[in-house]
Copies of this chain bind each other. A is one copy, B any other.
Amino acid sequence: MKFGHFDDVNKEYVITSPRTPLPWINYLGCEDFFSLKSNTCGGYSFYKDAKLLRLTRYRYNNVPLDSNGLYYFIKDGDTVWNPGWMPTKTELDDYKCRHGLGYSVFEGKKNGISAVLTDFVPMGTACEVNKLTLTNESDEKKDFTLFSYVEFCLWNAMDDMTNFQRNFSTGEVEIHGSTIYHKTEYRERRNHYAIFSVNTDIDGFDTDRDSFLGAYGENRAPEVVMTGKAKNSVASGWAPVGSHQINISLAPGESRDLVFVLGYVENKKDEKWEGLNKVNRKPAEAMLTKFDTTEKADQALADLKAYWNGLLSHFTVSSSEEKLDRMVNIWHQYQCMVTFNMSRSASYFESGIGRGMGFRDSCQDLLGFVHLIPDRARQRILDIASTQFEDGSAYHQYQPLTKKGNADIGSGFNDDPLWLIAGTAAYIKETGDYSILDEITPYDNDASKATDFMEHLRRSFNYTVNHLGPHGLPLIGRADWNDCLNLNCFSEEPGESFQTFGPSEGPNAESVFIAGMFVKYGKDYAAICRHRGLEEEAKEAEKQIEKMEQTVLDAGWDGEWYLRAYDHYKHKVGSKECEEGKIFIEPQGFCVIAEIGLKDGYCLKAMESVEKHLDTKYGIVLLQPCYTRYHVELGEITSYPGGYKENAGIFCHNNPWISIAETVVGRGNRAWQVYTRTCPAYIEDISEIHRTEPYVYSQMIAGKDAPNFGEAKNSWLTGTAAWTFLDVSQYILGIRPDYDGLVVDPCIPASLDGFSAKRDFRGVTYHITVKNPNGAEKGVASMTVDGTPVEGNMIPFDGSKKEVQVEVVMG
């Protein structure tokens, strides 16, 4: 069952029923100001940091679902409705929500009035613009009243929902003309306020929530709206809100445009005041003049669309697979960009007040967006590396505002250092920019301890070399990629952190997954050494890698698949010997990607075992059989009911690992099957089961052990975005940047007769046509570059060209 459809021309998903299984959201903003926007106008806005500078108040896990947003009420006689359905939930004669790239459009019609609300965050200005077009589509004059409404957050989202003893007394506003200034705490240490304004005269306003809603009132029927008369309330403490009343009169066929702006405004500390308790309004007025006409608002939206079209033009594909093209050309890349912007901070499942940026998360996100904005990728890499410790280990998280490591969680996640190599390798392959290796980069943000960035990579690589366990496999520390596999913690009491309780880092527990990573990214490290002329070091690294490969085959192979780990007691994890959790997905993915034992058939065997033991119709589960009880020696993974999260859920993040791994063993049909089973566009038809947005990935889909098998959770902010784009673009379509040029190495389903793609790479645009006349799954039979045959599948880089035509024939 679908609740809408894709509009590929406009790069939109068009939702045609407000009753989506869960709120389906979009992200407005790509610089400093962000708004989460659901298909019924729910959501909230923040400036830079979703915890510390939240403009508007949203209530997670509320009843009704998705409560609070930036709402417009139309009171037309006795009928009160919203263009986005919520919060009145008045049935509309017509409803559409178009989620586009950085904007959302809500089209509502009721009783002859049409309302088209276009919400976006313009480039270069810290505000959300709402253009509302009201049209009288009836053949009678229409007189009705419009009320805007937003509830302000008192800035710190955490404090806002806990400290009422203080917060109920601090709210303050000013009202000047059509602009409401929310200035809570501006009187003291803040030098910023929020504004909510409209480009027309108003007939009334409200700024006090209880006045607007009435006693025990509800968003679905605010007293002011129901009576049709604003109270001109001035908030003093309690809950400041912003509402404008505008009386509208439209002749038949007549339209009227209104432009509302919700903005964040800062003043310099010595320019805060215009007078006693009167804020300096100049910067607010300057912001508002940027959008004070319909034309200016339209131009800002056009600029935003041009920005996104430019970004997405770096990689496009055209094939007979409409859904493939749609995902690659639009939604994969869009989700990658949003994930880069947000890290894991603010979604409808991440409350925005928790952890900062993840070291591992950010490195993986790089894999998805590096081709879009390499400059910001470069900065991100250096920011991350600056939080690294001198021994090569890393803070597991860091704060986006300060860019400093988060001491609460600390280090000890032993895969982290290797991800820095992964991200850097991707950056260098994309850009050819080795100069990043020379950047002087601190450790633990201490400039006095800085070295060049190459030394950071060296210490990252050596961190694994220096932290091996009894079998010679890497020690796991607090956890590896699977944050919930905690082999050194042994927590017995509720409330303890599964990751940081207990010894956390022990001498025995080893990770086969990290071993796979080490082999895979160790090869990149060796390649980078070699490009830097460090031949000896490259050779030494390769020796370590070979040794690790052998160790995995000796101690990390269970007969039919790769082991997951050894626990503190040196017992196997993810083995046929185990009672539960006999086989895990992660080492199968990464050891095959690393090609450990490839030529001896280990990789194919592992892939067959995944298919046999972990496959479901909705994707590949993380492990089997699920854990039915808590194992104190395994940690958080066993705390979840079976089928959810890491305990045998379909963790979308590592499905593309298997798809990539299948391309390594050359099984294009299977790689494709794995890709499409969790791919949003391919499962749009089961939206009533999948429930989250059909245009982006979720972190997790309930596995077959769960009652809600097939139901997804935690959409939008997931490493799945980057990994899937990597999978489909570089391994399935096979257009893969390498150190010395662009490789074309498709591994596609036999039924696909080819495709064409456009790929910008180091300033050159490649027009690539792949033909698959004989239904191959992998293998390049021939390649021509600008008409000239080339050996192999690497296009030698030639920076003197602007456009290059490439033809590849598979076979």
Contact = CB atoms under 8 A, between A and B. Distances in A.
Given A165-B714, A354-B162, A237 B644 contact: yes
Interface stretch (A196-204, A212-220, A507-515, A735-743): A212-220
A64 interface: yes
A351 interface: yes
A578 interface: no
A378 interface: no
Contacts of A714: 164-165, 168
B707 A236 contact: yes
A447 interface: no
Contacts of A164: 60-61, 349-351, 714
- Main secondary structure on A side of the interface with B: loop
Interface of A: 19, 21, 52, 59-68, 86, 89, 151, 155-156, 158-159, 161-170, 172, 185, 187-190, 209-210, 213, 215-220, 234, 236-237, 239, 276-277, 349-351, 353-354, 491-496, 628-630, 638-641, 644-645, 649, 699-700, 702, 706-708, 713-714
Contacts of A19: 215-216
A360 to B, nearest CB: 16
A702 B644 CA distance: 50
Given A65-B216, A187-B629, A189-B496, 20 more contacts: A21-B215, A60-B161, A60-B162, A61-B164, A63-B218, A64-B217, A89-B216, A158-B162, A159-B495, A164-B349, A165-B699, A169-B640, A169-B649, A170-B641, A187-B641, A218-B220, A234-B707, A236-B641, A236-B706, A276-B628
B209 A169 contact: no
A496 B190 CA distance: 11
A216 B66 contact: yes
A159 to B, nearest CB: 8
Nearest to A235: B707
B169 A645 contact: yes
B494 A639 contact: no
A544 B460 CA distance: 64
* 4 smallest beta-carbon distances between A and B, as pairs: A169-B644, A188-B639, A188-B630, A236-B707
A189 B493 contact: yes
Q: Which of A61, A62, A185 has the most B CB atoms < 10 Å from its CB?
A: A61
A64 B68 CA distance: 12
A187 to B, nearest CB: 6
B236 A349 contact: no
Q: Which of A216, A349, A353, A713 has the most B CB atoms < 10 Å from its CB?
A: A216
27 contacts: A52-B495, A60-B161, A61-B164, A62-B62, A65-B215, A66-B216, A86-B216, A155-B494, A156-B495, A161-B161, A164-B351, A165-B699, A169-B644, A169-B649, A170-B640, A170-B644, A187-B629, A187-B630, A187-B641, A188-B494, A188-B630, A189-B496, A234-B707, A237-B644, A237-B713, A276-B628, A276-B629
Nearest to A158: B162
A354 B354 CA distance: 17
A21 B700 CA distance: 45
B219 A63 contact: yes
B168 A713 contact: yes
A217 B63 CA distance: 7
A162 B353 CA distance: 7
A509 B277 CA distance: 28
A190 B492 CA distance: 8
Contacts of A163: 351, 354
A659 B575 CA distance: 76
A672 to B, nearest CB: 29
Given A165-B350, A215-B21, A188 B63 contact: no
B155 A641 contact: no
A288 to B, nearest CB: 25
Given A21-B215, A495-B156, A638 B162 contact: no
B61 A161 contact: yes
Contacts of A64: 213, 216-218
A712 to B, nearest CB: 11
A164 B353 CA distance: 11
Q: Which of A19, A89, A351, A494 has the most B CB atoms < 10 Å from its CB?
A: A494
Q: Which of A162, A170, A496, A640 has the most B CB atoms < 10 Å from its CB?
A: A162
A676 to B, nearest CB: 25
Given A213-B63, A350-B164, A707-B236, A494 B640 contact: no
A707 B629 CA distance: 58
Contact of A628 (B155, B277, B706): B277
A2 to B, nearest CB: 16
Contact of A351 (B60, B89, B162, B277): B162
A57 to B, nearest CB: 8
A638 B714 CA distance: 42
Contacts of A158: 162
A212 to B, nearest CB: 10
Nearest to A189: B494
Contacts of A218: 63-64, 220
A203 B311 CA distance: 59
A491 B166 CA distance: 17
A151 to B, nearest CB: 8
A639 B713 contact: no
Contacts of A159: 495
Contacts of A209: 63
Nearest to A66: B216
B353 A190 contact: no
Contacts of A494: 52, 155-156, 185, 188-190
A187 B61 contact: no
B237 A169 contact: no
B170 A236 contact: no
A167 B713 CA distance: 11
A188 B706 contact: no
A492 B189 contact: yes
Nearest to A20: B215
A320 to B, nearest CB: 37
Nearest to A631: B188
Contacts of A59: 59, 62
A698 to B, nearest CB: 11
Given A216-B64, A707-B234, A166 B645 contact: yes
A60 B60 CA distance: 12
Contacts of A61: 161, 164, 167, 239
A220 B67 CA distance: 15
Q: Which of A165, A496, A638 has the most B CB atoms < 10 Å from its CB?
A: A165
A187 B639 contact: yes
Nearest to A86: B216
A159 B162 CA distance: 12
A234 B708 CA distance: 11
B21 A170 contact: no
Given A21-B215, A494-B189, A237 B165 contact: no
A272 to B, nearest CB: 10
A151 B62 CA distance: 11
Q: Which of A155, A495, A496, A638 has the most B CB atoms < 10 Å from its CB?
A: A495
Contacts of A60: 161-162, 164
Contacts of A351: 161-164
A798 to B, nearest CB: 47
Contacts of A492: 189
Contacts of A68: 63
